[in-house]
Amino acid sequence: MEERIAGLINDSIETKKLLVPSEISTAAKVLITALKNKHKVLICGNGGSASQAQHFSAELVGRFEKERTALPAIALTTDTSIITAVGNDYGFEKVFSRQVEALGQQGDVLITLSTSGNSKNIIAAIETALNKKMEVINLLGKDGGIIAKFDWESELISATQTQNIIIPSSNTARIQESHLLIIHILCKLIEDEFFKK
């Protein structure tokens, strides 16, 4: 069993080594610029990624490492009344896009988490965000799925407003572990920029 555990730890480390620092830096700059300009961050995902969306939001609104003022972030995965009402009335595909339509404004940032890159409700949220001239950062897995391959420009949406960070692994657990590391790095970079003392 200990050998198996050591192997799983090593798998996680090796997957994290595939992260590209420049991609995370670009995402951090987008978030820092938005927050400095008094915009907010909306975050969504399904299943385990939903809990990571909430984790990210909690780190920004609460704190990561420093005592500081709160930063505006909303996890779109938490309001069960909205999720069940929209799911019932419009379909599960719309549970995030309807919230982006209501809460998102030009200059805000939508962060999505999808291990497959194929979630229809995430794709709908991205489309809504881009139509509202929001920035979009997608944390993806495997080959990035439909989200990474979608031709946003042909849909008359500016592709320059989207960034994909893809974890090239087929293992959902390893992808989510890497997404969590990215979330923590982004929180650290944001706090260091805003709260230097």
Model confidence pLDDT, tens digit, residues 67-121: 999 999 999 999 999 999 999 999 999 999 999 999 999 999 999 999 999 999 9
- What's the number of domains the chain is made of? 1
The string of DSSP codes covering 51-67 is HHHHHHHHHHHS-SSS-
- Containing structural domain, residue 185: 2-194
pLDDT computed for residue 161 by the predictor: 81
pLDDT computed for residue 110 by the predictor: 98
- Sequence-distant (6+) residues with CB within 8 A of 110 are 41, 42, 43, 44, 100, 104, 125, 126, 129, 134, 135, 136, 137
pLDDT computed for residue 162 by the predictor: 86
The whole-angstrom distance between residue 57's C-alpha and the CA centroid of its chain comes to 10
What is the CATH classification number for the domain harbouring 99?
3.40.50.10490
Query: What gap in Å lies between CA 167 and CA 140, rounded to an integer?
Result: 6
pTM over 0.75: yes
Model confidence pLDDT, tens digit, residues 155-166: 555 545 889 999
- Residue where the block lists tokens 């994909």: 164
